[in-house]
Chains A and B, each alone.
Chain A
Amino acid sequence: MAARTAPTPQHQPLLSRWRINAILLICVVFALANAHKLFEVQVQRHDQLSGLAQSEFRQNRTIQPARGIIRDSTGGVLAMNVDRDVLGVAPPLIDDDVADPNESDRLALLLSPLIGKAPSEIKQLLQTKDREYVVLARRLTPEVSEQIRALKNTALSLTPEPVRVYPKGMFAANIVGVANYENVGISGVEGYNNSLLAGVAGSLEAEIDSAANSIWIDPPTVQEPRDGADITLTIDPTAQHIAEEELQNALINHGASGGSITVMDSKTGAILAMATSNKFDPNRYTEYQPEIYNKNGAITDQYEPGSTFKPINLAIGLQAKAFTVNSVVDDPGFIARAPGCCANFDSNGHSPMTPENVILYSSNVGALQYAEMAGEEGFYQGLRDFGYGQPTGIELGGEEAGIVQWPDTTADWRPIVLSTNGYGQGIAVTPLQHLRAMSAIANGGNLMQPYIIQEWCERGECHKVEPKVLRTIIDDNVAMDVAKMMVRAANNNYAFQEDMWWKQCSAYYDRQGNGGVPLVPGYNIAAKTGTSSIPDGRGGYENATIGSVMGFGPIEDSRFTVLVKLDRTQEIWGTKAIPVYAAVFKRLLTHYQVPPNPELVHECQIEQ
């Protein structure tokens, strides 16, 4: 140490200045390299890099508008929005490292029972390392969300998203329809009025930090979203409930394969109830076939109306003054128009055949002849006026137009078409279309625009939908004449009464059509049965039939027009729809507190 502490070393090194300058030169060159790169990055690539940086921290976000709420006419909510969690995972954050090589296995097994997916499927998603974010499950219930949150796994994330919820489940589902997982309506009111319900998305342009919090150096620009309109339907929950319940009972009791019950306000054209056999829970729509949740039988099923068409036929003829209520034709039970055509359903003749008896006896031969009396031009003009062959324009998705063989547009049109159309064959209608035509008779001749949206409110401003008369197609008295004929048929026809009052009132029946026993005690209810064949798709007809009853009442001041349609009932003539029709009417009249007329209660109906 002594030598080391010597103040001055023995051999002074020769410090060369050039060496120090060389080091300085190296430093300067290094610094110049940095400066050059700095210039390249900061000035030459300024636009590119600042653009990339801005695309990262300047976020343009869509603010989703709230989808409109759908309510029934009493304000009961049929469709609404709630926030449910989306389970996402960031696969790169799952450590498949040496410490825990089986983390994705473990996680897959943990999540499998919670989200109802196979572990292998989950694991496959967890191992898509090239993706930043993978959605594992959506629409988690709060309980499942809580369980997943308790896992405290940083790779998993729960993000709330608005989810469409239908609190009443299957109730009126065929009307309300479904909005899919992207909140786009795909059927029913949701589908047809999607743009109205969806609203307009807003946007928020803001600068964010890497945790997506706004940093507000530049104030964010906000474009407020416009929330979707709230829709109130004309559907009366009680009427809908009645219709659904009666239809369900009918399906069970009579073994029908399907059917629909539709109730329309005779005067306004508002749909009060629309029950179909396609029942599904819109909250779980993916578990059903698309043809179930996409189809509303009341507007999509085209069928031959059969005898329920006869009142329309008569109304057309009476309005065209081709005959009068007192006109008479011969009905021998069959009439030759084409090979194998045309006979009454029971081949019995009921001469002399007045228009009234056409309804009472459901005479095909009579209806055929009156149609021919109306003539090709008059009859088809009448069909056009009644709105056949064209969609009604109701605010529901998937409506069909019906099929009419118009003489001027059908290539091989023959007069036999007119003849069979007279009793409702060779023509296809939708239940709603048919119902609208019947409502015109019920309300004294006004063809109404059917509607299901009573009111829609957007940003506090409500628009009430007013009933709309499309055109007046028949006169008052013609309508009342037809209505009376239908009441008489309902009160006297054997087919009608056999399941209703036959046992207790058989003594009072007057087959000549005087008096009779009211179908619904206390009211004059018009009704007409119909039995239609079902095309089998091979040019012929199935062995089964569609039984339907259509009518309205009370005829003095008609409130409801109802169509009950049962497909493929066990009973071939389809008369099983009659007690269903009567029950629906009875309950509707009770619910709406329509006062009964005591004179219209037959004594045999009292003792119960």
Chain B
Amino acid sequence: MNDRVPRKPDGMLLALVVGLVAFGLVMVYSSSFYVAYAEYDSSVYWVLRQTMWAIAGVVAMFITMQFDYRKLRRFSLPLMALTLFLLLLVLLLPEHITKVNGASRWINIGPIGMQPSEVAKFAAIIYFADWLSRRGSKIRQFVTGLLPFGIMLGLLAGLVLLQPNMSTTIVIVVISAAILFTSGASLTHLGIAASITTLVGWTAIQSAGYRALRVLVWQDPFSYPRDGGYQPIHALYALGSGGWTGVGLGQSRQKFFWLPFAHTDAIYAVIGEELGMIGAGLVLAAFIMLAIRGFRIASRSLDPFGALIAVGVTTWLVVQALINIAVVTTVIPFTGITLPFISYGGSSLMMTMIAAGLLLSVTRYAPLKRAEEQTNERSIPTIGQLRPRVVAAADAVRRWHGRPRVPGFGRSQRSEEAQRASSFAIGNSLGGTWRKPADESKRLIAWRKPKQRKTLVSQPINGSTARERIEQRRRNQRQR
């Protein structure tokens, strides 16, 4: 499938992730130095570990980014099987291996610990993206679509919920639901599934006393200053003290043992206190930016598997961040969940970095359609979609030859086939793809590309024509 040159990764996504991680290091230090000094006699105890994890995470992200996500298809089922096995193992292993802070979530072997539930997020994304992308219209049938999906998700989420780990369960269910929804599942089915999930979720809340209490505390934290209300109250104190501009970096008072988990789950409250509404709003905006970029990649991917992975990963990172922020601001009841890229937590950071790498891999390897092209004929073109056409038309009139403005492509003497093949690479920089060639025939060819590929599936080599392979080889030689 490596029939096309990987593009550069999406620069803005990369900048967002690296920026959030760097900002996270600053905030982890600011929020943890006092507690770290009190507990470990070293104010950099946690930030040092987080820095090492961040470096490792960036390396992991770049490695993942280089890896063609499409190869993951063949791992989807083994990965799922392994995940289910690990999740079972967590429930079966003795508590001294698995138990941390009252819940059996870990597999600790010697100094190395891992949370199978983090792996479960990956497994859910890759497995469901693979499965749903090859189901086609079958997923609209209950027996072939929703039912197997529901069984698999129920198995996965159920095992996580048994740990117990409500927050990860929610994230997994939301990721899977987003993938299912994107893949074109029947809305009726989704409605039924949503009702069932809500029912199950409500039962889960009622079944555990502490969860029911959390709902009560959420409704009025100030009535429970001791029983569970302590953390929400101090998160509100932190945010409220911030005002518009905050009390200044490093000046938070709540981190002095008042706010529990100030450098992990509640770090957003410290950000709000030190940097105010402006700082906290910018963090929120960064995640929205991440969402916009991630979903845009999904929209424009011609490869449904890539699109669904992009949807899954973006939903994961954004929903987890939004849930964390919502918990801190008491929009929703309390649940323990980290803020991706920012909260302290080595394995969590590592996993989110790998996820970001996966998303960037999609931006590099997924065949993209151009912005103006629509797979779904029923949808109404938005202004953003119309605008490139107008601009491109004007552009084409100005540049009479109608070829792409990019010099490398514009000047080459390649055949139309080569032009067509390389036209996917035009979307190198996502923002620039609206510069389409005015030639209607090229547009049509490009648009028809998926269908052509479909006919070539049975070809033993790479699914491309001999002509294309020659061109490919040439190009590779040129690049070397």
Mark A residues whose CB is within 8 Å of B.
1, 4-24, 27-28, 30-31, 33-35, 37-39, 41-43, 45-46, 48-50, 52-54, 56-57, 92, 207-211, 215, 217
Contacts and interface: CB of A to CB of B under 8 A. Distances in A.
B257 A211 contact: yes
Interface of B: 1, 34, 70, 73-74, 76-77, 130, 132-139, 178, 181-184, 226, 234, 236-244, 251, 253-254, 256-258, 272, 276-277, 280-281, 284, 287-288, 291-292, 295, 298-299, 301, 304-305, 307-308, 311, 315, 318-319, 322, 325-326, 329-331, 374-376, 378-379, 450, 453-454, 457, 463
B240 A210 contact: no
A132 to B, nearest CB: 8
Given A24-B291, A38-B272, A215-B253, 17 more contacts: A4-B130, A8-B454, A10-B134, A11-B135, A11-B137, A16-B182, A17-B375, A19-B181, A21-B299, A22-B181, A30-B322, A34-B322, A34-B325, A37-B326, A53-B238, A56-B237, A56-B258
Contact of A11 (B134, B240, B254, B295): B134
B184 A46 contact: no
A13 B136 contact: yes
Contacts of A46: 240-243
Contacts of B376: 14-18
Contacts of B318: 27
A210 B258 contact: yes
A12 B241 contact: no
A187 to B, nearest CB: 43
Given A16-B375, A24-B295, A209-B258, A9 B134 contact: yes
B331 A37 contact: yes
A5 B305 CA distance: 13
A24 B292 contact: yes
Contact of A31 (B34, B284, B298): B284
> SS class of chain B's interface: helix, strand, loop or mixed?
helix
B231 to A, nearest CB: 12
Contact of A23 (B77, B135, B181, B242): B181
> SS class of chain A's interface: helix, strand, loop or mixed?
helix
A12 B454 contact: yes
A43 B244 contact: yes
Contacts of B243: 42-43, 46, 50
Pick the most buried of A5, A30, A215: most chain B CB atoms within 10 A of its CB.
Answer: A30
B448 to A, nearest CB: 13
Given A13-B133, A27-B319, A28-B291, A5 B182 contact: no
A42 B239 contact: yes
A8 to B, nearest CB: 5
B184 A27 contact: no
B277 A43 contact: yes
A12 B299 contact: no
Contacts of A50: 237, 240-241, 243
B184 A13 contact: yes
B256 A7 contact: no
A50 B240 CA distance: 6
A5 B457 CA distance: 12
Contacts of A42: 239-240, 242-244, 272, 276-277, 280
Pick the most buried of A7, A27, A42, A43: most chain B CB atoms within 10 A of its CB.
Answer: A42
Contacts of B237: 49-50, 52-53, 56
B34 A209 contact: yes
Contact of A35 (B254, B284, B304, B307): B284
Contacts of B315: 23, 27
